[in-house]
Amino acid sequence: MSTFRAPKGTMDVLPPDSQRWRDAHRLFEDLAEQFGYGLALTPMFEDTDVFARGVGGDTEVVEKQMYTFTDKGGRSVTLRPEATASVVRAAIQAGGVQGRLKASYWGPMFRYERPQKGRYRQFYQGGIEYLGSDAPEADVEVIEFGYRYLERIGVPNVEIRLGSIGDAEDRARYREEIRAFLLDRFEQLSDDAQRRVDTNPMRVLDSKADAAVVADAPKPGDFLGAEASQHFGAVRAGLEILDLPYTIDSTIVRGLDYYNRTVWEYVPTTYDAAQSSVGGGGRYDGLFEILGGKPTPAVGLAMGVDRILLASGESRTGWALDAFVIVTGDERRADARRLVSDLRQRGLRIDMTDTGRSVKAQFKEADRRAAGNAIVVGDEWSDGLVSVKNLGTGDQTVITVKEIDGWLRA
Ligand code: HAM
């Protein structure tokens, strides 16, 4: 029988490598709570129309990348390719947003893409959505959140690429301009682009095959109306107050249709250019109405966890265990077990191995398990002492059992 493998474009993450994922998740949850975002849990699949309408029928995501199937009840459902449309659907279902609603989520998303490094068919996002505010301050807060997350996790040299694509009317004006520009160069366009000249000409800006043709096309940022322009100015001023570095990118096009006004991406300048963005977001004031709700301004982002972990290097972000307890003789196993139980009850992350391993083998296991320290229960135990070794620095000392807690938390 042939052996099974994870489906193409998906992957398994097992201990100890998965510790980085747990740390990344924990950091995300902590930061979301610090910024005042409550948890939103929504299904991993939705009625296909939530995404077809929400994300936009003419986007790559909806046209080519959705995992859509008919369930046993004959309904068309789709594994979520992103969660903004889901969160908005949930908010509408709950009766709409009174005042403000700040929500965060974390979990797998599904897009049928051609897999390569940093691009998968099941990938992980952590996202926040700030619903009910049209204030530039809300945009600034969300942009700051993504930047701080990358900072904490240790992704170096992140650039915030920022743009504004204006309001619906501005986009309509721009659409005519870009359409005219493309029609003048129709013969040079790819088949996909030719098809989109009438349906969604702005998408062509996003097309790699047409990059040369559109290099000097008019940009969305040049067509902002007075209000969008003022809003954008206030977002920029807000970023400057917080000393958040950004570069204006008037060519920025996001792959989803619901955006208006502010859009941005986080790009680590030292990371491989093909899959450069480790997160992105924008304002989406029209999405509630598209999904059948009352007009509700909103802004949000999603961070691409897979790419963030690639960009933060292969190093461990933290220890999986505070300490690994090492026993030098079977007669001390009962004492060691009691010590492990006691330290765990004090909230520390502690483990030991099962019977019959040499001290050397136990040290090896401590290392493999990403333990920060080794606590040796040996000859000194009868005097109430243990030998502890910091496995990062190599520092070693003999301390009393009572002192262990302090040593580990130092
Ligand atoms: P997005 O730009 O489509 O935005 O995705 C956000 C991030 O998810 C990307 O920057 C990238 O890091 C990661 N990502 C996307 N596709 C893949 C893939 N196939 N493999 C690995 N990583 C991937 C959204 O999804 C919006 N919902 C963000 C948002 C929230 N806008 C407003 N609120």
CA of 81 to the centre of ligand 1 (A): 9
226-241 vs 136-153: helix crossing angle, rounded to 10: 40
Ligand 1 centre to CA of 74 (Å) is 30
Q: What is the pLDDT of residue 196?
A: 86
Output the CA 267–ligand 1 centroid distance in Å: 12
Ligand 1 atom with the shortest distance to the CA of 129: 33
Buried b (16+ CB within 10 A) or exposed e, 64-76: ebbebeeeeeeee
Q: Whose CA is nearest to atom 29 of ligand 1?
A: 301
**Cβ atoms 303, 125 nearer than 8 A:** yes
Nearest CA to ligand 1 atom 30: 301
Q: Which range is least confidently modeled, 98-107, 126-135, 186-195, 228-237?
A: 186-195
Query: In what order do the strands lie in the sheet containing 298-304?
Result: 38-39, 101-110, 122-131, 298-304, 279-283, 260-268, 158-164, 246-248
Residue nearest to atom 18 of ligand 1 (CA): 119
- Using CA atoms of 167, 169, 173, 179 in order, give the dihedral in degrees to the nearest 10: 80
- pLDDT at residue 315, rounded to an integer: 54
> What is the average per-residue pLDDT within 88-106?
98
Average pLDDT over residues 247-274: 85
Shortest-distance Cα residue to atom 33 of ligand 1:
300
**Could you tell me which residue, 86 or 194, shows the higher pLDDT?**
86
Residue 230's pLDDT is 97
279-283 and 385-390 beta bridge pairing: unpaired
Residue with the bigger pLDDT between 201 and 50: it is 50
Residue whose CA is closest, atom 11 of ligand 1? 304
Using the mean position of ligand 1's atoms as its centre, give its distance from the Cα of residue 304 in Å. Answer: 6
Q: Which 3 state secondary structure label does DSSP give 171?
A: helix
Residue 273 · residue 300 · CB < 8 Å: no
pLDDT of residue 236 exceeding 80, the answer is yes
Instruction: Give the pLDDT confidence score for residue 125 in this predicted structure.
Output: 98
According to DSSP, residue 31 is labeled H
Supply the residue whose CA is at minimum distance from atom 8 of ligand 1. Answer: 304
Q: For residues 119-132, give the mean pLDDT.
A: 98
How far is the centre of ligand 1, averaged over its atoms, from the C-alpha of 302 (Å)?
6
What pLDDT is stored for residue 238 in this prediction? 98
Q: How far is the CA of 265 from the centre of ligand 1 (A)?
A: 10
State how far the Cα of 60 lies from the Cα of 66, in Å rounded to an integer. 9
Quote the mean pLDDT of the chain.
93
What is the distance in A from the centroid of ligand 1 to the CA of 82? 7
Over residues 318-371, the pLDDT tens digits come to 789 999 999 999 899 999 999 999 999 999 999 999 988 999 999 999 999 999
CA of 106 to the centre of ligand 1 (A): 12
User: Ligand 1 atom closest to Cα of 255?
Assistant: 3
Per-residue pLDDT tens over the stretch 128-154: 999 999 999 999 999 999 999 999 999
Q: Which residue's CA lies nearest to atom 31 of ligand 1?
A: 281
Testing ligand 1's pocket by substitution, the residue of 145, 307, 310 carrying the most ligand atoms inside 8 A of its CB is: 307
CA of 25 to the centre of ligand 1 (A): 16
User: Count of residues for the chain?
Assistant: 410
By DSSP bridging, strand 260-268 and strand 279-283 are antiparallel
- pLDDT score of 93: 98
Tell which one of 123, 155, 287 to mutate to probe ligand 1, the residue whose CB is within 8 A of the most ligand atoms.
Answer: 123
Question: Are the beta carbons of 283 and 259 closer than 8 angstroms?
Answer: yes
pTM over 0.85? The answer is yes
Give the rounded percent of residues in the chain with a pLDDT score beyond 90: 79
* Cα–Cα distance for residue pair 3/53, rounded to 1 Å: 40
Indicate which atom in ligand 1 lies nearest the CA of residue 278: 12
Look at 23-27, 150-154, 204-208, 396-400 and tell me which has the smallest mean pLDDT. 204-208
Contact residues for 191 (Cβ-Cβ < 8 A; gap 6+): none
Which residue did the predictor score with more confidence, 41 or 409?
Answer: 41
Give the model's pLDDT for residue 299: 98
Mean local confidence (pLDDT), 202-229: 87
Tell me: cis bond preceding 201? Omega within 30 of 0 counts: no
192 vs 203: CA distance, rounded Å: 10
CA terminus-to-terminus distance, the chain? 52
> Residue 279 C-alpha to ligand 1 middle, in angstroms?
6
Q: How many Cβ atoms sit within 10 Å of the Cβ of residue 194? A: 16
Ligand 1: residues whose CB is within 6 Å? 82, 84, 111, 113, 118-120, 123, 125, 127, 129, 254-256, 277-282, 284, 300-302, 304, 306-307
Contact 35, 145 (CB under 8 A): yes
CA dihedral 233, 234, 235, 237 (to 10 degrees): 90
Which pLDDT band, with edges at 50, 70 and 90, does 309 fall under? very high
Going from the Cα of 62 to the center of ligand 1, the distance in angstroms, rounded, reads: 14
Q: What is the reported pLDDT for 204?
A: 85
- Per DSSP, the three-state class of 264 is strand
Q: What is the pLDDT of residue 232?
A: 97
Percent of the chain's residues with pLDDT above 70: 98
Asked if residue 316 has pLDDT above 60, the reply is no
pLDDT confidence band for 46 (50 / 70 / 90):
very high
Mean pLDDT lowest among 52-66, 194-208, 281-295: 194-208
